[in-house]
Amino acid sequence: MPRSTADIAARARETGRLGIDTEFMGEGRYQPLLCLAQIALDDGEGGTEVIVLDPLTEEYDPQPLADVLADPEIEIVLHAARQDVALLRRDWGQPVRNVFDTQVAAGFAGMRAQLGYEPLLKETLGVRLRKSASFTRWDDRPLTDEQLGYAREDVLHLLQVASALQDRLTELGRLDWAREECRSFESIDDRRDLEIVFGKLPRVNSLDPNQRAVARELVEWREDAARTGDRPVSSVLHDAALVEIAKRRPQNVDRLRQIRGLNDATLHRRGKSIVEAVARGREREPIPVEGVRPTQPDAEDAPLIALGEALVRTRAMESELAYELIAARADLQKIVTSVREGSGEPDVRTLQGWRREVVGNELLELLAGRRTLRVGPGARLLIESDPEE
């Protein structure tokens, strides 16, 4: 008899952890559809019990599992957790706490960033996976034996991989670093914030306040149309066409037809509702451009960014950390800009927490002229304090 979700939740509370993975389909939909949830439990004998839940054909109560996912006392193990966490939060109605992402952990254990599950298994446990069903239609029923076997195998070794990585990180003194990094998953939510969507429209700040009000109305109309029809937002109306419509504010379909980026099918199906949305937008309060435009990068920043990147990469290699965990070019640009302008430290991850300890302080000293880089024996980059300090 299949385990109930209450039984699964009880076992997770007994052992203090649960592994989980999902299979989903996002193509052609407004949001990804949860097709399977695969759960791994400690079986009490050093192995793993795998349970596969099928939301498309089975009736089950997700609440006991949602409560476990939200319990900070239970460790939730995933690999490349971002999409899974967002999907589970939306469908099961709870945030996911105490995540241990084995992909993130691998970066702290000296492996490359964004390491896939298959190579991670091979490197840590010597296990090879069959990835034959990875890109099959998970929304078709019935599932094949090949698909079900693949889905089960995807979590069969997940808890053992997590244990191996935790042992390695404990030896390196970095387990707390990895757990700190994984806490960011608790705030993941795939619900679309329309203010953010509006703010990211191309050239939206070049529109006047009345045009921006129309653009905001079109964003709301498009979102509702995509949600109602379960279609990707871009298939309803592309960003560039939306901004052009807001700029020209057509009052009838014939005027709308003159705007590039709208095919005949869109005009036939949605032309009237687009014109109506434009009319509603004309009645909205104008939306001025708020705030100060961010400082633009200076052409002379590039060498300083390259210098900073050299320091970060050197320290990352020495520490056996994935470079991508420490800094991104955007982080370095903000740091260089703040130094050039003499403003306060920017709010970037490279200058926070364990990253500041590994490289952040040195990076600030380098840009202040209190650190030097030179090529030493064996063409190795050496980082030295200013001898005059």
113 with 258, same domain? no
Query: Does residue 292 sit within a domain?
Result: no
pLDDT for the residue 183: 95
Residue 373, domain CATH? 1.10.150.80
pLDDT for the residue 314: 94
Q: What share of the chain is helix, strand, coil (3-state, %, to 5)?
A: 55, 10, 35
pLDDT for the residue 140: 94
> Which of 152, 167, 187 is the C-terminal boundary of a domain?
187
- Please confirm whether the linkage preceding 286 is cis (ω < 30° from 0): no
> Which of 187, 212, 238 is the C-terminal boundary of a domain?
187
343 with 376, same domain? yes
CA dist 367 and 343 (Å) reads 13
Supply the DSSP string of 327-362, one letter for each residue.
--HHHHHHHHHHHHHT-PPP--GGGSHHHIIIIIHH
248 with 136, same domain? no
> Which of 155, 187, 219 is the C-terminal boundary of a domain?
187
End-to-end CA distance of the chain: 73
55 with 202, same domain? no
pLDDT for the residue 296: 64
> Could you state, in chain order, the average pLDDT of each consecutive group of 10 residues for the chain (389 residues)?
88 97 94 96 92 94 97 97 96 96 96 91 89 81 93 95 97 95 92 94 96 98 97 95 97 94 91 98 94 65 93 92 91 94 92 94 94 89 73
Which domain range does residue 219 map to?
A: 194-283
Residues 6+ positions from 260 with CB-CB distance below 8 Å:
241, 244
153 with 96, same domain? yes
pLDDT for the residue 3: 84
pLDDT for the residue 1: 55
Query: Does residue 117 sit within a domain?
Result: yes
Tokens of 155: 């979590």
Report how far Cα 102 is from the mean position of its chain's Cα atoms.
Answer: 15
